[in-house]
């Protein structure tokens, strides 16, 4: 399902504010607040809530992904919305510039302005010290599996679904009673941890593996002989198929305060496809602290080449 236009900008801004904000801050995107003047629910692109002493602070964020310059009209609307939802501050975030009148009107109206500006590659790589990333994709295939059950005699007993398929929901999960398949159980295993990091790995690896379920792990059982047997272990053979690709830097976005010219955060965007999906790896840098973070966003289904 495709997301509405501008939603990606809203989620990115919410993360940038959370990344730069104080510990304990709650970020909600989108949020809905009952207007004290309008008496109706007002949708807000994102809200930031945190405490200072015994006081609660509410900051609302509204985002626009446009190419035209943002004038005083939008700022007037946001000033009215801030009063209705009783926010301490409302922040107008735009991918395009603000007019001089919008900047002047925002002052004194508890409306702060932010700009998210994109720069194409061409010398800007030095901001992050890289112009590409190397992506490794690992796909695991389960070839066969054998289960070991507590107290089960395979010579005398008979299980439900004796010739079981890997995707048959034959196992009952103890925590909630949900019926799950062997694939569901194995999906909880970090198969990559079975491969030693830091050595050269061939493109295709065949490896026998075991999943042992200890008392502290999630428990599963299967029906047989009129009773349930606890799953102790799954032994299986897995095939790992690896591929490595180079993802060039698409662009860099700079999140700033246009009134003061202060840079808040920088974002380096590296697109890469995985299993038919177009993903975007975002390397985020806080300009004040130098701290960095990585976020991966799903930007849609990859289009087939004609």
Partners of 117 in the β-ladder: 254
Note whether 75 and 105 are within 8 A (CB). Answer: yes
Same domain membership, residue 67 and residue 146:
no
Asked if residue 306 is part of any domain, the answer here is no
pLDDT for the residue numbered 163: 60
- Alpha helix (H) ranges present in 147-195? 182-186
DSSP string, 63-100: EE--SSPB-HHHHHHHHHHHHHHT-SEEEEEESS-B-H
Asked if residue 174 is part of any domain, the answer here is yes
Same domain membership, residue 125 and residue 167:
no
Cβ count within 10 A of residue 87 = 23
pLDDT for the residue numbered 21: 79
pLDDT for the residue numbered 77: 95
Same domain membership, residue 151 and residue 123:
no
Same domain membership, residue 120 and residue 40:
yes
Pairing of strands 89-94, 55-64: parallel
| Owner of token pair 């849609």 | 300
**SS3 call for 132:** strand
Cβ count within 10 A of residue 128 = 15
Total-model pTM: 0.64
Please state the domain count of the chain. Answer: 2
Q: How far apart are CA 231 and CA 217, in angstroms?
A: 11
Torsion, CA 249, CA 255, CA 259, CA 261, rounded to 10: -50
Domain of 272, CATH number, reads 3.40.1350.10
pLDDT for the residue numbered 161: 45
Domain that holds residue 75: 7-130+250-301
Q: How far apart are CA 46 and CA 255, in angstroms?
A: 16
**What value does the CA radius of gyration of the chain take, rounded to a whole number of Å?**
26
**Tokens linked to 21:** 């904000």
Q: How far apart are CA 61 and CA 182, in angstroms?
A: 45
Same domain membership, residue 179 and residue 44:
no
Low-confidence ranges of the chain (pLDDT < 70): 1-5, 122-129, 154-164, 190-202, 275-276, 299-306
DSSP string, 237-278: EEEEEEEEEEEE--EEEEEEETTTTEEEEEEEEEEEEETTEE
Q: Which long-range contacts link 191-197 to residues 24+ away (Cβ below 8 Å)?
A: 191/140, 191/238, 191/240, 192/138, 194/238, 195/240
Same domain membership, residue 123 and residue 11:
yes
């Amino acid at each position: 399902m495709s997301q509405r236009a501008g939603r990606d900008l809203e989620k990115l801004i919410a993360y940038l504010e959370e990344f730069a904000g104080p510990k304990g801050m709650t970020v909600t995107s989108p949020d809905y607040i009952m207007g004290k003047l309008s008496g109706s629910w007002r949708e807000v692109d994102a809200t930031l809530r945190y405490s200072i002493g015994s006081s609660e602070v509410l900051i609302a964020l509204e985002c626009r992904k446009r190419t035209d310059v943002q004038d005083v009209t939008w700022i007037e609307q946001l000033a009215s919305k801030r009063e209705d939802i009783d926010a301490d501050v409302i922040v107008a975030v735009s991918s395009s510039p603000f007019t001089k009148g919008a900047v002047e009107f925002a002052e004194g109206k508890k409306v702060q302005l932010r700009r998210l500006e994109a720069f194409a590659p061409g010398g800007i790589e030095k901001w992050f010290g890289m112009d590409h990333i190397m992506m490794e994709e690992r796909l695991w295939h389960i070839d066969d599996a054998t289960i070991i059950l507590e107290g089960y005699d395979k010579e005398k007993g008979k299980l439900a679904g004796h010739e079981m398929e890997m995707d048959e929901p034959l196992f009952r999960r103890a925590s909630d009673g949900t019926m799950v398949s062997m694939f569901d159980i194995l999906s909880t295993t970090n198969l990559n941890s079975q491969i030693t990091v830091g050595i050269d790995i061939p493109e295709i690896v065949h490896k026998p593996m075991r999943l042992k379920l200890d008392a502290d792990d999630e428990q599963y059982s299967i029906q047989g002989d009129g009773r349930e047997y606890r799953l102790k272990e799954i032994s299986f053979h897995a095939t790992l198929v690896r591929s490595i690709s180079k993802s060039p830097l698409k662009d860099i976005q700079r999140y700033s305060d246009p009134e003061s010219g202060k840079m808040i955060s920088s974002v380096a965007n590296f697109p890469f496809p995985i299993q038919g999906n177009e993903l975007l790896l975002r390397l985020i840098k806080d300009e004040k602290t130098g701290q960095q973070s990585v976020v991966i966003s799903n930007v849609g289904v990859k289009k087939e080449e004609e």
